[in-house]
Structure 1
Amino acid sequence: MSGIKQATFGAGCFWGAEAVFRALPGVVETRVGYAVEVGDESLQIEVVQVDFDPRVLAYSSLIEHFWDLHDPTSVDRQGEHGGVKYRSAIFYHDAGQGEEARLAKVALQESGRLSKPVATVVVPLGRFELADEGHQRYLEKNGLSSCHI
């Protein structure tokens, strides 16, 4: 589809993040998997990759939903799940997304909404590896409405 863009977010457990993003008007498709940071092939982070129509849903709106669906102040942890794979991260696909994500992070930090520093990393997407089919739309397939974290 012409004009469709991609965004990739790490918000801890990817099941819940996928469900939230799937429900947004303007989201065309989602998939969960693992993002690899540029320069560190060993670092794989659980992410949801979102195909969206920017004529309907702005990238900045996706970022706002991302802030709300997890704790962006938590370092390599969401709820009871800890470790690098649960890192809060925005993986940008181009320089424009990178700049917008960095500015959004600064705005969130300066907003006073959070009592701790924003730990979210903003980095270019090195590679995306699709998780197996059992993880795709996991909550939907299992009759669950939300993730426990």
Structure 2
Amino acid sequence: MMKETAIFAGGCFWCMVSPFDEQPGIIEVKSGYTGGHTENPTYEEVKSQETGHTEAVRIVFDPEVISYEELVEIYWNQTDPTDAMGQFHDRGSSYRPVIFVNNEEQRRIAEASKKKLEESGRYSAPIVTTIEEAVPFYLAEEEHQDFHKKNPEAYAKEKEDRKKWMESQEKEVAR
């Protein structure tokens, strides 16, 4: 089995795990922190907006079963790509939307996908999700791993809030 890694940031990592975890070809999805300047940050440190990190998920996948391109498409449907300073009710730089790329092939795919989204007219505001080089990824504390399984009621509420927001955005574009 082949293995590759994808790293996506798109708001609270609690809601970013399940959409990927459910796909065939996914080996593991871990919540963590990346893009900052502090080694081994804690949840409280990242939440304080002082470390420069963003909450993210690291996905290990089998590219013979699911492609990086497919993962990027799933990603776009989990985030607000027009909001550089948070996602939904999670505000601040630790919730910014970023695609962290591991190589030039991932960069090419992410940039092409972003361009396609920009040209689609799906959003009236500019797409501000950044595409950045992958940097050290630090695993979040155990209580933040598999949140959707450990706290199904809280996860369901977060998921519903995101769904309502996405529907409101689609209505804005349709007008």
TM value normalised by structure 1: 0.92
Aligned counterpart in structure 2 of residue 95 of structure 1, from 104, 108, 115: 104
**Unaligned stretches of 5+ residues in structure 2:** 39-50, 163-175
Please say if 1:25 is aligned against 2:24: yes
| Separation in structure 1 between the aligned mates of residue 152 and residue 96 of structure 2, nearest angstrom | 26
| Separation in structure 2 between the aligned mates of residue 11 and residue 81 of structure 1, nearest angstrom | 10
What does residue range 95-114 of structure 1 map to in structure 2 within 5 Å?
95-114=104-123
Give me the CA root mean square deviation: 1.4
Please say if 1:130 is aligned against 2:139: yes
Runs of 4+ in 1 over 6 A off after TM superposition: none
56-65 vs 28-37, greater mean Cα deviation: 28-37
TM value normalised by structure 2: 0.79
User: 1:52 is matched with which residue?
Assistant: 61
Q: What one-letter code is carried by the residue in structure 1 that aligns with 2:58? A: Q
Deviations 1:69-118 (A, max 9, x none): 12111111111111100000000111110111111111110111111111
Q: Give % identity.
A: 34
Q: What one-letter code is carried by the residue in structure 2 that aligns with 1:26? A: G
Higher relative contact order (CA 8 A, sep 6+): 1
| Separation in structure 1 between the aligned mates of residue 3 and residue 25 of structure 2, nearest angstrom | 10
Higher Cα Rg, which structure: 2
**Of Structure 1 and Structure 2, which has the larger fraction of its residues in helix?**
2
| Separation in structure 1 between the aligned mates of residue 67 and residue 114 of structure 2, nearest angstrom | 16
| Offset, 1:143 | 2.4
**Unaligned stretches of 5+ residues in structure 1:** none
